[in-house]
Amino acid sequence: MQSLWFWLGRLDELAADALHDDWPIDRLEDALARMAAPGIETQAVATAPLPQATGALVTLALPPGLDISRQIGLEAQALWQTQHHGRAYWYTCTESRAPSLRVSRGLPATAADLLGATI
Q: Is residue 34 part of a domain?
A: yes
How far is Cα 104 from Cα 47, in angstroms, rounded to an integer? 31
**Rounded average pLDDT over 114-118:** 69
71 lies in some domain: no
| Total domain count, the chain | 2
pTM over 0.85, yes/no: no
Does 76 map to a domain?
A: no
For 79-106, how does the pLDDT look when each residue is reduced to its tens digit (9 = 90+)? 887 888 788 888 888 787 788 898 888 8
Classify residue 22: in a domain, yes or no: yes
Long-range pairs of 35-44 with CB within 8 A, sequence gap ≥ 24: 35/10, 35/11, 37/7, 38/3, 38/4, 38/6, 38/7, 38/8, 39/3, 40/3, 40/4, 43/70, 43/74
Q: Which structural domain, as residue segments, surrounds residue 96?
A: 85-119
| 69 assigned to some structural domain | no
For residue 4, being part of any structural domain is answered with yes
